[in-house]
A and B are shown apart, each in its own frame.
Chain A
Amino acid sequence: MTAPGAAYPRPPRRLLRVFATDPMRGDAAGNRITISVANEPLKPGPEGARLSVVDYDGGSGRYYEPVDLDAPALLMQEGLEPVESDPRFHQQMVYAVASKVLENFDAALGRTFRFKGGARLRLLPHAFRGVNAFYDPDLFAVLFGTFRADEENPGPNLPGQTVFTCLSHDIIAHEMTHALVHRLRPHYLEPSNRDVLAFHEGFADVVAIFQHFSFPEILTGAIQETRAHLASADTLVKLAQQFGCATGSGEALRSALDDASVADDPFGEKARKRDRLKRQQYETVTEPHERGSILVAAIFDAFFATYQARIRDLIRIATGGSGVLPEGDLHPDLVGRIAKEASKTAQNVLTMSIRAFDYLPPVDVTFGDFLRALVTADTELVPADDRGLRASMIEAFRIRGVYPDDVISLAQESLLWEDRSGEVPDLPVNLLRQQLVLSARAFDRYAPGRESDEDPTGPWAKALRHWAAENARPLDLVPGLPVALEGFHTVFRVSPDGQLLIELVARFVQAIQGAKDALPLRGGTTVIASSEGKVRYVVSKPLPSKRLRPEAHRAGERRAGLQAGFVGVADLADPSLAWGTARSLRRRRAQISFSAVNRAAWRGR
């Protein structure tokens, strides 16, 4: 292999072609983009360091020939040409989109994302026959369904056409996000309040939609076409709806469109009515996908407000200040710049949303927690909100009536998690030193296998658990109750102005087991400390206990009550619990799917 002379440097990126929008939505012509992912060595599958595409089809009991993306013929031409008839292209697309999601998490979290024990997540592009796709923690795989469109009522598809859910960027990104969220917060699969599963679904849609928006090629066509409405919501909302269609949030995004009609009179009767309706949704909708789309819609609104502000100058330049664009096609440079602003804003929103994860409690998340985590994480990194994105986020959540517990106002300062500096002794950094070095090195090069922060038996893990037990009360952990260390990470982030921020994040969980089949009541705390071990934030969901601070105890009691009420309703609303076998039920509980078929039955009032 090695020719005489110097070796060629390995190119850092690998380019792969994929379908830009679902081929199942027709419009196949010109429907392709090229995604750039890290150039890791790949075995046939493809199988890389973190992902393994295994094309086994449970419907026919057959494997399909795996693609070899390192074959010279494919390296020369950005992978296989997008076609529906070749399963090897499907494998390429699943790999490319899933890798892109991983990269977005790597960049936003400031560390190399790693699955438990360094395992590879399996992706099965044609696992079963059915209109569905899901992440299954038991099989540790993302499984995509294949189905035939109805002859008489094919929906958006051709009659009788075979439809592959694995050829949708949004479905791949959505299910992939479920897998990553499950890794970051395993207890978010437990429906301990009405926001938890909804958060899983909504967040997966946010990643799918904004990752999709981050490809400027997708935006240029749409912007050119609707030139007259450049600054109105139409173009982007329609595009987002189209994306959201596959995963279910499409409907909800319509509310952003409605906003355009009341924009002239933000305090008029129409606007008030709209706001009332939005708030009502958050109070009444319980089905996880529908509730999740409230989160999507709020984040989309924030994205849109920021985008509008950012292109205002471009419009002024292009129109000599009049705001009225000339007849005919737009100048391609203008289109290109606007598309770039839109995709940049989308990338900012995506990064900001993912970054919030380290500031989330380990259990029982609410949308309000997410807002607080978002604001805190962003403030730590970018103290001055000169991009305006943070303020837009707060406003969008406010309009939807999403108020976090225990904050006195929705001002940025009160949304920050409470600063607990000085209340808790420092983390035992000396014992963690080796750990810090390892993390730093892992970040140095693309090599996830080297990170060892997950070994719960290591001396540093023991030290951390001991530290948590010693400081249980200030950490809102019940003294005397066993504490599990769920994760510990070193986080390196670079702010837009080039500053490096290093943080240590540890998560501790406790549980009270109730009846045999019942969901245990869990409490937990996320601790965020500086690189010297000084504790900054204690993000807690305490268990009820008289041994805690009175306010922590009260919060615990309230959570326990809400959980008891919610779990019962969740069961009542699920008809398949009656008909299943033990195996199918266990599986159903674990799966999170993009098309929960019993969506309607969940609807609360």
Chain B
Amino acid sequence: MSRARKKTGPGAVTVRMYNVGFGDSFLLTFPAADRPRRVLIDCGSHVSGPGPEPIGDVAGRIVRDVTGADGVPRIDVVIATHRHQDHVSGFQAPVWKDVHVKEVWMPWTEDPDDPDATEIREKQSGGATKLHAALRLAGAPDHLLDLVANCLTNEKAMTTLHEGFAGKPARLFLPRKGAERKAFSPASLPGVTVHPLGPSRDPDVIRDMDPPKGKGYLHLGTDRDGGSGRLPFRRRWALTPKELDATAAFAHLRLPETYRKAVDALGEDDDLAVAAALDAAVNGTSLMLIFEIGKAFLLFPGDAQWGTWNAALSDPASVALLKKTVFCKVGHHGSHNATPKEFVQKELGAFTAMVSTRPMTAWKLIPKKALMAALQAKSKAVVRSDRLSSVPSGFTKQGESWVETKIPV
């Protein structure tokens, strides 16, 4: 009997996407001979993009979903792809302390004993703290502050991942030194081979994880003048636009009001560029994994950006793997630079895709429409976490809370 079961098996990996708003949380259930294995990838939500229920409640829901008949919640592997709030904030919830976990996987940049990793973390967190303080003092608009807040340390959540959970889980930092792009078969997941495609340890790619070097906020003092109207010169040199307009000798220097408004906005554009670069730097530390089981290849790129993708796409072995993708978690909530459109159009065959996202008033370009269209055109089915009212066939949903699909192995 056991032989027969092994042959046909339960037959499928279940991928469940929780609706966390602007964030990520995926529960994978892998079939195995004795009992199914559970993998949780991320649990977080952006402050300015909550889902239908608060992230703490989603965490409680996940814990209930993984609780067995004996009343003990169990997850075999918890994965935090990177330390952005919208991927880890849910780990602040107290419910996790009772969850039995075997292993916690994080990108190598989280390794507390790796000096390179520590340097990158300190640069990123230090930069975020400084930039956030400077922007707040300067009265920067909310959408900008939120973008930076996402990169702040997220201390409480990271403590859970590094020290929390029941069952004394082992901590793995991927890819291990010298084992970049080397597939491994974790004992905790029988029958599953994991291909770590990122984050790279190549110094050239790591440089992408550096916040913009020697520029921008690294030179900004926290008492930046911006917006507060403080003058870099003595007051006697300053003229209000009215005063200048009233001086006939300066008539030729008058700037139209619309022109002045455009100049007034320049500082903000500059801040945005710095904030976006910092955000991308943290995304650059994202774990990018392919789970191989039977004939199924499931791609979870986290929020990996161009640096990681470019490295993977320049490596023929990785490209060959990526081509086999049958399931794809669309990176970075569908932004233009976390999934190369060209790759989707040229390299991918029939696949199922999930996008965890929601429209944001401030960031109209996420998810990127052209990319969504390309996915729709190329895939068997795409489901979006914010559009659960009617899901395509092949997906099961529970209200607005989650949606899942089965990928045959």
Q: Nearest residue in A to B314 (C-beta to C-beta)?
A: A605
Q: Which residues of the partner chain A approach B232 to less than 8 Å between Cβ atoms?
A: 57, 126, 146, 162, 164
Residues of A within 8 Å of B271, CB to CB, are: 130
Nearest neighbor of A157 in chain B, beta-carbon distance = B219
Question: Which residue of the partner chain, among B230, B253, B309, B337, contacts A574 with CB atoms under 8 Å?
Answer: B337
A:80-101 near B, CB below 8 Å: 85-88
Contacts A568-B341, A597-B273, A600-B277 supplied; 10 other A-B pairs, CB < 8 Å: A57-B232, A86-B237, A124-B263, A128-B270, A139-B263, A162-B232, A568-B342, A572-B337, A573-B306, A601-B281
Nearest-neighbor residue (CB-CB) of B210 within chain A = A600
Do residues B237 and A575 form an inter-chain contact, with CB atoms below 8 A? no
Q: Are B269 and A584 in contact (CB under 8 A)?
A: yes
CB distance from B241 to the nearest CB of A (A): 7
Closest 4 CB pairs of A and B: A575-B280, A576-B276, A130-B270, A58-B263
Which of A160, A577, A597 is packed against the most chain B CB atoms within 10 Å? A597
Does the CB pair A147–B272 fall under 8 Å?
A: no
Contact B260 A575 (CB under 8 A): no
B239 to chain A: which residues have CB within 8 Å? Answer: 62-65
Query: Is the pair B259, A139 in contact by a Cβ cutoff of 8 Å?
Result: yes
Q: Which residues of chain A in 550-605 are interfacial with respect to chain B, using CB atoms and an 8 Å cutoff?
A: 568-569, 571-585, 587-588, 595, 597-601, 603-605
| Those of B290-308 within 8 Å (CB) of chain A | 305-307
Could you give, for residues 22-52 of chain A, a 1 whenever the CB lies within 8 Å of some chain B CB and a 0 otherwise?
0000000000000000000001110100001
CB < 8 Å neighbour of A598 from B267, B268, B277, B309: B277
| A131 contacts partner chain B, Cβ-Cβ < 8 Å | yes
Chain A: CB-nearest residue to B229: A60
Are A572 and B336 in contact, CB atoms less than 8 angstroms apart?
Answer: yes
A-binding residues in B (CB < 8 A): 130, 138, 143, 147, 204-205, 207-208, 210, 212-216, 218-227, 229-234, 236-241, 243-244, 249-250, 252-253, 255, 259-260, 262-277, 279-281, 283, 305-307, 309-311, 314, 332, 335-337, 340-342, 362-366, 368
Question: Is A603 a contact partner of B219 (Cβ separation < 8 A)?
Answer: no
A505 CB–B CB distance under 8 Å: no
> How near does chain B come to A581, taking the closest CB pair, in angstroms?
7
CB proximity of B133 to chain A, nearest CB, Å: 12
Give the residues in chain A near B225, CB-CB below 8 Å.
59-60, 129, 146, 148
Distance from A291 Cβ to chain B, minimum over Cβ atoms (Å)? 15
A507: min CB distance to chain B, Å: 30
Instruction: Confirm or deny: A132 has a beta carbon within 8 angstroms of a beta carbon on chain B.
Output: yes
A128-B274 contact, Cβ under 8 Å, with A147-B220, A155-B214: no
Interfacial chain A residues near B368, Cβ < 8 Å: 578
The residue on B at minimum CB distance from A598 is B277
A592 to B233, CA, bound (A): 27
A residues near B, CB below 8 A?
43-45, 47, 52, 54, 56-66, 85-88, 124, 126-132, 138-139, 143, 145-151, 153-155, 157, 159-160, 162-164, 568-569, 571-585, 587-588, 595, 597-601, 603-605
User: Is the Cβ of B212 less than 8 Å from the Cβ of A600?
Assistant: yes
Our pick among A59, A143, A148, A153 for the contact of B218 (Cβ within 8 Å) is A153
Which residue from B221, B230, B244, B340 sits with its C-beta under 8 Å from A151? B221
Point out the residue from B220, B310, B365 that lies within 8 Å of A577, measured CB to CB: B365
Please tell me if the beta carbons of B253 and A598 are within 8 angstroms of each other in the complex: no
Contact partner of A578 (CB less than 8 A), chosen from B221, B250, B276, is B276
Would B276 and A579 count as touching, CB distance under 8 A? yes
For B340, list chain A residues within 8 Å (CB): 568, 572
Q: Tell me if A598 and B280 are in contact (CB < 8 A).
A: yes
Out of A44, A57, A127, which one reaches B250, CB within 8 Å? A44
Within the complex, which residue of B212, B213, B253 is in contact with A44, where a contact is CB–CB below 8 Å?
A: B253
Give the residues in chain A near B249, CB-CB below 8 Å: 44
Bound CA span A44–B147, Å: 43
Residues of B near A587 (CB, < 8 A) are 269
Set A64, A127, A157, A585: member contacting B263, Cβ < 8 A:
A127
Contacting residues, chain A, for B138 (C-beta < 8 A): 129
Q: Which residue of B lies closest to A580 (CB)?
A: B272
CB atoms of A576 and B363 under 8 A apart: no
Task: Tell me whether A575 and B279 are in contact (CB under 8 A).
Answer: yes
Chain A minimum-CB-distance residue to B315: A605
Contact A572 B306 (CB under 8 A): yes
Counting chain A CB atoms within 10 Å of each CB, the highest count among B210, B219, B243, B262 belongs to: B219
